[in-house]
C-alpha cells in the first residue's frame, strides 16, 4: 500500500508553509536548501529544495521553491475532510484569507459540508466535513 503526499512548487515555500501551519495547525518538520543538499555555492543555494510540514492532524505536505517561472493552479486540488463542521469552517476561513472562495462551505445534498477555495498562493482546496 502506498502513501500519497502532495508536493507543491512555490515562489516562497517557507512563507507558504508558515501560512498552512497557521491556517491548519501543525508544525514544520524539515527544511533543506539547495546549498545544504548539494554543497555548492550557486545563486539558488538559499532556495528550498525540500520542505515538509505536518498539518491538520499529521497530514504531510512537501514543498520546494520553484527554480523556473511559477504558475499557480495546475488543475489539482487538495481535499481535506474533517470530522466536525467547526474544524472545517475554521480551516476554510483561514485558508481563504487573501484568496478566493469558489463555493461556500455549506451542507450539500449528498449529506456532507463542502466548500472550495483558492488560497493566496493559487492552491485549490476542497474542504469537507461530516454532517
Q: Where are the domains of the chain?
A: 7-65, 77-130
**Cβ pair 80, 127 in contact under 8 A:** yes
Q: How many of the other CB atoms lie within 10 Å of CB of 15? A: 11
DSSP state of 99: S
- Grid cell, residue 119, equals 488560497
Class at the top of the CATH hierarchy for domain 77-130: alpha beta
Per-residue pLDDT of the chain (131 residues; tens, 9 = 90+): 757 789 999 999 999 999 999 999 999 999 999 888 777 667 888 899 999 999 999 999 999 998 888 777 667 889 999 999 999 999 999 999 999 999 999 999 888 999 999 999 999 999 999 88
DSSP 26-70: EEEEEEEEHHHHH---STTTTSEEEEEEEETTTEEEEEEE-SS--
Residue with cell 511559477: 70
C-alpha cell at 14: 517557507
Q: Is CATH 3.30.70 the classification given to domain 7-65?
A: no
Q: Is 101 helix (H, G, I), strand (E, B) or coil?
A: strand
Task: In whole angstroms, give the CA distance from residue 9 to residue 14.
Answer: 11
The pTM for the full model equals 0.87
Phi, psi torsion values for 44, nearest 5 degrees? -105, 15
Amino acid at each position: 500500500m502506498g502513501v500519497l503526499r502532495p508536493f507543491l512548487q512555490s515562489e516562497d515555500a517557507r512563507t507558504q508553509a508558515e501560512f498552512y501551519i497557521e491556517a491548519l495547525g501543525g508544525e514544520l518538520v524539515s527544511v533543506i536548501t539547495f546549498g545544504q543538499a548539494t554543497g555548492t555555492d550557486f545563486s539558488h543555494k538559499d532556495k528550498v529544495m525540500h520542505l515538509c510540514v505536518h498539518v491538520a492532524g499529521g497530514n504531510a505536505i512537501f514543498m520546494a521553491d520553484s527554480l523556473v517561472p511559477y504558475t499557480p493552479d495546475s488543475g489539482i486540488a487538495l481535499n481535506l475532510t474533517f470530522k466536525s463542521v467547526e474544524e472545517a469552517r475554521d480551516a476554510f476561513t483561514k485558508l481563504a484569507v487573501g484568496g478566493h472562495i469558489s463555493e461556500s462551505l455549506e451542507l450539500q445534498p449528498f449529506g456532507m459540508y463542502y466548500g472550495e477555495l483558492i488560497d493566496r498562493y493559487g492552491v485549490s482546496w476542497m474542504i469537507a466535513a461530516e454532517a
